[in-house]
Amino acid sequence: MEKEIGILICKSHLGRLSAGPPAHGDRDSVKVPVKCPAGTDPLALWHTHPSGSLRLSSTDVQTGKDHQIPYICVSNGKKGSTRCYKIKRD
C-alpha cells in the first residue's frame, strides 16, 4: 500500500530555495511540518496522492491559507504527473 509523502519548500529573500524534511503519512493524508527556517518564507507545499487524483482536498487548500503557502502541488505516482495550484488568500 502506497502512503502519502510531502515536503515544504521555502525561499529566502535572496531567492535561494530550501526543502524541509520529508514527511510520511498514511494512504489518505500526510502532516508536513509547515515552519520554514529563519530568514525564509514558505513557497510551496508538495505531496503525493496515492489515489491518483491531482485535485486538492479542502484540507490542502485550508493548510495553504492558514500558513500563507502560495502554492500547493500534488503528484500522482501512478502516472508520474504533478499539478501545482496557486492558493488564493481570503
* pLDDT recorded at residue 53: 87
Compute the distance between CA of residue 3 and CA of residue 23 in angstroms, rounded to an integer: 10
The Cα 3–Cα 17 span in angstroms is 26
Q: Where are the domains of the chain?
A: 5-86
The pTM (predicted TM-score) of the whole model is 0.88
Length of the chain: 90
What's residue 7's pLDDT?
97
pLDDT higher than threshold 80 for residue 1: no
- Would you call 62 helix, strand, or coil by DSSP? helix
- The Cα-based distances of 34 to 6, 9, 47, 69 in angstroms read 11, 9, 12, 9
Question: Which pLDDT belongs to residue 50?
Answer: 87
pLDDT in tens, 6-61: 999 999 999 999 999 999 999 888 999 999 999 999 999 999 988 888 999 999 99
Residue 66 has pLDDT above 90, yes or no: yes
